[in-house]
Amino acid sequence: MVERNHMPSSELHKATLDIPSHFPFYFWLDDKTELILVKEGNQLRAFQSICPHMGARLEYDARAKEIKCPWHGLRFCQSTLLSSHERYKKLKEFALETREGKLFIYG
């Protein structure tokens, strides 16, 4: 999880939601940005869920530890969010903070 206290002061609070009970959890941050929330051990992470290539919804594969595009097979490493394709290098990750059963998202 990207901790809020490590984010630049220019990063704005984007959303607050109840911490979901199942993962991966997809949700819309705004009318243009869908995120995927995943749980790795006890840690939560949120990153863009739309492929930067053609706009497909990315699929999360916890066993393979990767995120992939169902349309063209573009793959992103779960831990680094990096792609092997030089044009589509990295998925955007959003900072998270948990307080009193709520999840605060910054970006």
Cα distance between residue 35 and residue 73, in whole Å: 19
**pLDDT per position as a tens digit, 25-72:** 999 988 889 999 998 888 899 999 999 888 999 999 988 889 999 999
Mean pLDDT of 92-99: 92
- Higher-pLDDT residue of 93 and 5 is 93
> What pTM does this model have?
0.80
d(CA 49, CA 26): 8
Gap between the Cα atoms of 22 and 86, Å rounded: 33
Q: pLDDT class for 8, splitting at 50, 70, 90? A: very low
pLDDT at res. 11: 59
